């Protein structure tokens, strides 16, 4: 038992973040921190290679790093040729230990618009002042080069790994993961003396939802989704009733709004689920042979992914269950909900036509020429192909004027 605990204590958790810093990347890192804490590992290593990203997502990550919760966080800019630019600079400097692989760089942290252009006038001044003060506080708390940190924001300064070590921006250069673990071994961080040399590695992989949402936030994918949204909506407007272009355009538009941060994750998820229900209901009144149901199932699945991905780990649901729930809901509407809605809104026959199929009671003996029945509190002249006696229960087969034709029930 003692040996097992000792071995587990030397374990290091590792997550890899490549690409833009966005809400999905932030959720992945926060999940990595939570998992590392639960596993009681020596430290969490974040392998980083990013051109930058969203201010809000970066701030969420930095705040998690700066929180004194007893878990040492190591940011390792890797592999060779990688960079920690823009938001990556803030994240790297916020780590308890910052390291870089050879031939990597860090810096160029000036705020820019989502399109890449410079920000104008008053907003530019506000963002630069905020970013400068934020990175200054990070550098001060971690004991790093405050002057360079501010210049990275104000003047977009960028340096190599060797220069970063000389300027006290990062702690050291590590050639690979083994070298990194050897160099941090023995350091005391967050009240813990690290024992990482020759330790085991626990790789924390992104979940399906994180991979999917991260994929749709890639610039090329956002561009394609934008085109699908435009073409789909215009196609539906120019060809009303085509259905498929409209569904594709609506789903793509919601995903574009989410990917561009115009819609929060939960809001986009709820809108997709509402869209799914609307498509399910529309299937009852539109002869699309399941196209609306299929589109609704896709929208509901993506909406579920967005909603349940951002919950605490104990409340998260695997994508297989979410897919199953979306498919079952679609099947319910296809075979039960659609029929029920059609029945609710179906025009019912009025007057004598509405009596066909109803039961009646014979009040005067009936033959093929005369007789009477009581139905709905009214007396009607009735005829039948067979003799029927008083008090017999009959069913109305058809009506003709004020006469009904009946048969035995």
Cα–Cα distance, 342 to 336 (Å, whole number):
10
Alpha helices in 143-218 (DSSP H): 146-154, 161-166, 177-184, 208-216
* Contacts for 140 with CB less than 8 Å, ≥ 6 apart: 146
Among the listed residues 86, 110, 158, 384, the single catalytic one is 86
Q: Tokens at residue 53, please?
A: 């990203």
137 is catalytic: no
Cα–Cα distance, 59 to 403 (Å, whole number):
81
Q: Buried b / exposed e across 241-258, counting CB within 10 Å, b at 16+?
A: eebebbbbbbbbbbbbbb
Select from 35, 252, 298 the least CA-distant residue to 27: 35
Longest dimension (CA), the chain: 114
The partner residues of 366 in beta bridges, in order of sequence, read 388
Q: Tokens at residue 398, please?
A: 């058809």
Burial class (CB in 10 A: 0-12, 13-18, 19+), 230: middle
Among the listed residues 6, 56, 125, 126, the single catalytic one is 126
83 is catalytic: no
Please give the radius of gyration of the chain, using alpha carbons only, rounded to the nearest integer. Answer: 34
- The residues that are catalytic are 86, 126
């Amino acid at each position: 038992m003692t040996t097992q605990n000792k071995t587990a204590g030397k374990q290091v958790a590792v997550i890899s973040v490549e690409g833009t810093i966005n809400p999905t990347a932030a959720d992945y890192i926060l999940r990595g921190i939570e998992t590392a804490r639960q596993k009681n590992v020596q430290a969490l290593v974040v392998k980083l290679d990013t051109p930058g990203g969203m201010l809000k997502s970066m701030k969420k990550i930095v705040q998690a790093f700066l929180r004194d919760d007893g878990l040492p966080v190591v940011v390792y800019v890797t592999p060779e040729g990688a960079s920690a630019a823009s938001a990556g600079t803030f994240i790297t400097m916020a780590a308890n230990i910052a390291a870089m692989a050879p031939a990597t760089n860090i810096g160029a942290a000036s705020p820019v618009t989502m399109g890449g252009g410079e920000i104008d006038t008053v907003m530019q001044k506000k963002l630069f002042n905020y970013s400068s003060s934020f990175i200054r506080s990070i550098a001060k708390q971690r004991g790093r080069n405050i002057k360079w940190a501010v210049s990275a924001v104000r003047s977009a300064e960028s340096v190599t790994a060797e220069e970063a070590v000389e300027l006290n921006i990062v702690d050291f250069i590590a050639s690979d993961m083994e070298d990194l673990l050897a160099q941090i071994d023995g350091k005391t961080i967050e009240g813990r003396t690290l024992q990482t040399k020759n330790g085991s590695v626990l790789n924390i992989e992104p979940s399906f939802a994180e991979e999917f949402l991260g994929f749709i936030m890639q610039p090329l994918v956002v561009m394609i989704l934008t085109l699908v949204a435009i073409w789909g909506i215009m196609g539906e407007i120019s060809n009303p009733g085509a259905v498929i272009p409209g569904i594709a355009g609506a789903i793509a538009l919601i995903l574009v709004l989410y990917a561009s941060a115009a819609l929060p994750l939960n809001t986009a998820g709820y809108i997709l689920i509402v869209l799914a229900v609307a498509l399910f209901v529309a299937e009852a009144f539109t002869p699309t042979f399941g196209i609306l149901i299929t589109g609704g199932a896709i929208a509901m699945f993506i909406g579920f992914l967005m909603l349940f991905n951002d919950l605490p780990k104990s409340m998260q649901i695997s994508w297989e269950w979410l897919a199953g729930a979306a498919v079952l809901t679609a099947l319910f509407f296809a075979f039960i909900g659609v029929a029920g809605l059609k029945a609710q809104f179906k025009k019912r026959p009025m007057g004598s036509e509405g009596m066909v199929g109803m039961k009646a009671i014979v009040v005067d003996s009936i033959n093929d020429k005369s007789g009477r029945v009581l139905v709905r509190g009214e007396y009607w002249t009735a005829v039948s192909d067979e003799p029927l006696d008083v008090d017999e229960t009959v069913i109305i087969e058809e009506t003709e004027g004020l006469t009904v034709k009946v048969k035995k029930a």
